[in-house]
Amino acid sequence: MIPMMVEILLTTGTDESRSELTELVERFVMRLNGRQTIYQMIRLTEEIKRRGGSPLDPLDYKRQYHDLLWQQVGRRVEAVQEGQLTADEMTVPGARDLLSQLRDQGIVLYLASGTDLTYVAREVTVLGLDHFFESRVYGAVDDYKTFSKAMVIRRMIDEAKFDPAEIIGFGDGFVEIEEVKRVGGTAVGVASNESTRQGIDHWKRDRLIRAGADLIIGDYRCREELQKTLGFS
């Protein structure tokens, strides 16, 4: 996403350097991480206008981004489907075991993503995680005002009769941490190191703490300690 936005902003004729634009884009993309992709594209159009450009509709930029993203993600999905990669290689370590334990304890699981629902549903199915969530998988839609993570949390409270204090959210985005905390739930920030698949990404950690995370983990290998800490073991 960031390289695509930088290239687009460079076409406005701005006198900013590539590194300056990269720093700018990184800041607003990461601040909006966890919200629907369209909001990052809306911000892109605002930055284009500030530089005297005439932007396309944010939906056009979102589709352009998803085309680029699927070139990468699609190859991974196909690799899992063809047996070249295992599903667990494409998930945060320990995630499947934690989901199994939570389900076996009768905890209702929801998944909400800022990525378009079409992509989210396919990836969850290919990874063999769909049975944990059943119909409770939510993602972005073109009519973006009809979906948000805050709306999903409100649905959990209203339809499933959850006490907000019983909600525990896991995520690596600012938005889900803020929204879980807003209703009085417990927010676990997942500062995973995606390149090494172990340890903590300290840049993510700092951002998640600023968002209000109650607890920071690098992955789910610590699930026994995690369950004891959160009080549902």
Residues 6 or more apart in contact with residue 106 via CB below 8 angstroms: none
The two counts, helices (H) then strands (E), for the chain are 11, 5
| pLDDT score for 69 | 83
pLDDT digits (tens, 9 = 90+) for 38-61: 999 999 999 999 999 999 999 999
The C-alpha atoms of residue 64 and residue 134 are separated, in whole angstroms, by 30
Q: What is the pLDDT of residue 206?
A: 92
What are the CA-CA distances from residue 127 to residues 110, 165, 193, 198 (Å)? 16, 30, 20, 20
The predicted model scores a pTM of 0.84
pLDDT at residue number 233: 60
The residue ranges of DSSP E strands in 19-70, in sequence order, are: none
CA distance 41 to 47: 10
Question: Which two three-digit tokens encode residue 83?
Answer: 């047996």
Fold classified for 87-230: Rossmann fold (3.40.50)
pLDDT digits (tens, 9 = 90+) for 63-85: 999 888 888 888 888 899 999 99
Can you tell me the mean pLDDT for 207-226? 93
pLDDT single digits (tens) 124-146: 999 999 999 999 999 988 888 89
